[in-house]
Amino acid sequence: MTTAAAVRDALHAEFLAHGLLSADTDVLALAPDLLARALALCFPEYDLAGQDVDVVFEHTEERARMEQALLFGWVTADVVAPAATDDRSRVLCALFNLGIGMIDGACDADPHRAAELLEYLGVLDVESAVNGPWQEGGMLASLPPNAAADPTIAFTARVIDAFYSLLHATHPLSLRTRVGRLLAGALAAERRSVARSPAKPDELLEASRSTSVLPFVIIATLVHGDLDAATHLGEAMWRIDDLIDLDSDAESGALNSLLIGGTPDRAMIESVAREAAQHLRAGLGTTNGRHFLTFVHRYARVTPERSTRS
């Protein structure tokens, strides 16, 4: 049996054992205009808000990835929030998840480009930027010409600009300060995961964990949500992500917690899948959890049980 099949079987078995397969929702219907709203915030100079604009992507899968990233941030905010949170805070969480996903994707796909992007973020000083005053478009304006000409880096900068602009418009300084500290920690962990050497194994393990857990804690902070639930969800997705990417990370040399001590055996894979399921169940404390599970099922490639919708 291949490693991928062993991972899928282990996750399916643990999800079933922990009652985590009963979910079947139309997640895309939750916020059908989310992509348009996000693009309007990212390109304020074009005044896209309220206009029927047909955005054309170079590849159709790019649109789908953006929609999924935005929706995942939106749904996560709903899961960890103490009650129905305000609309702009959910959009803020959606933007944050899109931005962190683009940075993480760059780190996995192209370490050199990722190092450049992380360096530009370091110049921005993500912690100080939350305190203001925030200059609209500050991240994009700070890029050198060669970076601004790179479509991926330029769009990532626009997402970051949109996030900071909305954060300043919606949250008081006291909360922004907490978010700033968390953002600085997440960025430090991302740098550590890219640089790798000369970190010790326990330092690499903590960096790997932090890159997954801190984004969930940041989302919970943005919506005054349950930090314990967010930490559990982050722990779950950390383990699931490393399980799913086990083969590709082994081939590329990307940081993966399961590979730090050598190639894992089947017993370790099953143990980590069990740990992921336990954290996932502990983190899903609201009825909106079934929307979150839909993303997990798709990502882990496991089949949910029949719909439980009434």
Please say if the pLDDT value at position 50 is more than 60: no
Q: What is the CA radius of gyration of the chain?
A: 19
Is 309 a member of any domain? no
Comparing 32 with 89, which gets the higher pLDDT?
89
Query: Token match 């899961």: residue?
Result: 79
Q: 79 is in which domain, residue-wise?
A: 3-300
pLDDT for res 308: 44
Is 235 a member of any domain? yes
Number of structural domains in the chain? 1
Query: What CATH number did the domain enclosing 72 receive?
Result: 1.10.600.10
pLDDT for res 121: 76
Q: How far is Cα 45 from Cα 190, in angstroms, rounded to an integer? A: 31
pLDDT, tens digit, 9 for 90 and up, residues 115-125: 777 777 777 77
Is 204 a member of any domain? yes
Is 190 a member of any domain? yes
Please say if the pLDDT value at position 128 is more than 90: no
pLDDT for res 108: 67
CB atoms within 10 A of CB 82: 13
pLDDT, tens digit, 9 for 90 and up, residues 245-296: 999 988 888 889 999 988 899 999 999 999 999 999 999 976 678 889 989 9
Is 306 a member of any domain? no
Percent over 70 (pLDDT), the chain: 87
pLDDT, tens digit, 9 for 90 and up, residues 214-223: 999 999 999 9
Please say if the pLDDT value at position 94 is more than 50: yes
Summary count for the chain: helices (H), strands (E)? 15, 0
Please say if the pLDDT value at position 232 is more than 90: yes
Q: How far is Cα 201 from Cα 209, in angstroms, rounded to an integer? A: 12
DSSP 27-85: GGGG-TTHHHHHHHHH-GGG--TTS---PPPSSHHHHHHHHHHHHHHHHHHHHHSSS--
Q: Which stretch, 13-22, 78-87, 147-156, has highest mean pLDDT? A: 13-22
Is 305 a member of any domain? no
pLDDT for res 221: 96
pLDDT, tens digit, 9 for 90 and up, residues 76-93: 998 998 876 688 899 999
